């Protein structure tokens, strides 16, 4: 954290700057510096745009939207956002409440083997998503918060499954990659999903059916408010209270019904959690669209440093296909 951020925390907590202790954290896709600042008995979550970053203007815009969405949701009475937020638009620093372990908050899902805890966690997050979808923002706020769903555009415009149907060379290249990763898989479920997706790449009739299902996404109205990035890194969960808070609101947008639930359940499934009980919460056309989107993304050339991202995208495609439940 910069001296400016430390000074802002000290002023908020009414302590000397040298009494502020910083605990760096990571795990989300904001691109900003992130930390929990501890000052006596107080804890503050700090996000700061690096002034030297080449994309500083984009980071500043993201933090500004994060702050504005939180304030709009506070005014709407949403319990899903932090109780306080303070934003300095000149220094591009944002403070908000920190949800820390000593107060009962956890930032990881329960162990997948703990069935009851797992079910309570997933159910609590899905309730939060449904509650957010029903939240009504004033029309003026919705127009000024840049709530257009860019993720919706990417999935619809990608038409990844149609590309795979029409390009045998691309399918063969993907099969080679997926077979290699299947051989390297650390768990049977990962190997099975890769092998299953290799098989569907040989089944152009199935790919065509999936492409037709995915096309339905374009006709779904974007009328449900979404956080835009619901996954464990952005979820604070209080098991004793069965309560959820969401952070990092810069991707908030209006999306089709069950969009956020589908993204969340896909993330849980790729982490090894059994989400079969929540099939009714899935947006199946979106899930089909994500199969093609992530598959095509995983085939894009990338430097060595980005290969882990490509492998994640490949596994997301294979997991999304597995969740559709085809035999």
CATH topology agreement for domains 3-98 and 114-323: no
Q: What is the pTM of this model?
A: 0.92
Residue 150 pLDDT: 86
pLDDT on residue 50: 83
Supply angle C-alpha 236, 237, 239, rounded to 5: 160
Of the chain, the end-to-end C-alpha distance in Å amounts to 51
CATH 3.30.450, applies to 114-323: no
Contact criterion met (CB below 8 Å) for 175 and 248: no
Which has more confidence, 273 or 138?
Answer: 273
Rounded-to-integer distance, Cα 81 and Cα 85, Å: 9
Binned at pLDDT 50, 70 and 90, residue 28 comes out as low
Average pLDDT over all residues of the chain: 92
How sure is the predictor about 87, in pLDDT bands with cuts at 50, 70 and 90?
Answer: very high
**Per-residue pLDDT at 26 exceeds 80:** no
Q: Are 173 and 243 in contact (CB under 8 A)?
A: no
Domain 3-98, classified CATH 3.30.70, yes or no:
no
Domain-wise residue ranges, the chain? 3-98, 114-323
**Coil, strand or helix at 283:** coil
């Amino acid at each position: 954290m910069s001296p400016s951020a430390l000074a802002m925390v000290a002023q908020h907590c009414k302590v000397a700057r040298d009494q502020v202790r910083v605990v760096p954290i990571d795990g989300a896709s904001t691109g900003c510096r992130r930390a929990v600042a501890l000052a006596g008995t107080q804890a503050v979550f700090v996000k700061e745009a690096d002034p030297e970053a080449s994309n500083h203007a984009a980071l500043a815009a993201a933090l500004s939207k994060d702050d504005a969405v939180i304030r709009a949701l506070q005014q709407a009475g949403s319990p899903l956002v932090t109780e306080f937020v303070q934003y300095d638009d000149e220094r591009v620093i944002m403070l908000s409440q920190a949800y820390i372990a000593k107060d009962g908050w956890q930032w990881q899902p329960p162990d997948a083997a703990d069935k009851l805890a797992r079910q309570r966690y997933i159910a609590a997050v899905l309730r939060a998503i449904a509650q957010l979808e029903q939240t009504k923002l004033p029309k003026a706020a919705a127009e000024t918060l840049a709530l257009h769903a860019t993720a919706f555009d990417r999935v619809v415009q990608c038409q990844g499954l149609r590309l795979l149907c029409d390009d045998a060379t691309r399918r063969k290249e993907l099969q080679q990659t997926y077979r290699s990763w299947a051989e390297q898989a650390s768990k049977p479920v990962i190997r099975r999903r890769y092998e299953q997706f290799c098989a569907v790449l040989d089944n152009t009739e199935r790919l065509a059916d999936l492409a037709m299902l995915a096309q339905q996404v374009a006709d779904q109205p974007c009328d449900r408010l979404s956080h835009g990035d619901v996954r464990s890194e952005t979820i604070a969960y209080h098991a004793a209270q069965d309560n959820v808070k969401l952070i990092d609101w810069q991707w908030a947008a209006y999306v089709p019904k069950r969009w956020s639930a589908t993204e969340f359940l896909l993330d849980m499934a790729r982490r090894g959690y059994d989400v079969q009980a929540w099939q009714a919460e899935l947006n199946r056309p979106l899930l089909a669209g994500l199969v093609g989107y992530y598959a095509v993304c995983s085939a894009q050339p990338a430097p060595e440093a980005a290969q882990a991202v490509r492998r994640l995208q490949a596994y997301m495609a294979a997991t999304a296909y597995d969740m559709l439940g085809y035999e």
